[in-house]
Amino acid sequence: MYLDKIEIHGFKSFGDAVKLNIPKGITGVIGPNGSGKSNVADAIRWVLGEQSAKSLRGSKMEDIIFAGTEKRKSLGYAEVALTIKNPDETVRIAYTEIVIKRRVYRSGESEYFINGSSCRLKDVQELFMDTGIGKDGYSIIGQGQIDRVLSSKPEERRTLFEEAAGIYKYKVRRQEAERKLEKQRENLTRLQDIIGEIE
Ligand code: ATP
């Protein structure tokens, strides 16, 4: 599995639609200070489901939409698409090419697509769980992240190892199942109360 292409339009400094083809091997992004290098990494994390405006270096999600310049009008939406080649089906989906797209409007409305079909954030998150390329995956190491990993608590650091070992998704599913069980227990208690009142 590898990243093949990034298409960005309206995300942060990318007022024009750009397509970045990523060749195999090592790719470096170079440019003057403030030219948008980190915005490329932000775009990748965003399309993979990043929900925190702060971790995208903004204060609200609208900040990621191209705000315009002296010569250019602002845009009404931001859109990023990642094309991932999946020849060995590392990502468990029966496609050798996966296109993940996210779009957000100034109204806050957000849309996700997997290979052109509209989907939920949860579908994107589940697709990449335990592959290392989710928004928190270890494939994208942001500025200061190494420091954060080294100074984090052992329990927090453990999440990284769980993702690499492929057990994180089972942990998440277990938590979901426990939440549902708890809800059902509460429902049962309520039902027993009602039965008690009727009897
Ligand atoms: P450095 O080398 O200093 O770390 P960089 O190349 O990584 O810089 P980025 O931090 O990716 O640069 O980009 C910063 C630029 O993005 C700034 O010029 C900022 O004005 C611009 N920018 C951020 N958000 C928006 C937005 N919503 N609309 C327009 N431009 C934006």
Q: Answer whether 62 contacts ligand 1 (Cβ < 6 A).
A: no
pLDDT per residue as tens digits for the range 59-92: 898 999 999 999 999 999 999 999 999 998 888 8
Annotated binding site: which residue ranges? Answer: 32-39
Q: Is the pTM of this model over 0.90?
A: no
pLDDT per residue as tens digits for the range 2-27: 999 999 999 999 999 999 999 988 88
Q: Answer whether 36 contacts ligand 1 (Cβ < 6 A).
A: yes
Distance CA 51, CA 135 (A): 9
CB 56 within 8 A of CB 64: yes
pLDDT per residue as tens digits for the range 103-115: 999 998 999 999 9
Strand partners, 7: 19, 81
- Token readout for 187 is 């429902």
Among 9, 12, 73, say which to mutate for ligand 1: greatest number of ligand atoms within 8 Å of CB: 12
Q: Answer whether 132 contacts ligand 1 (Cβ < 6 A).
A: no
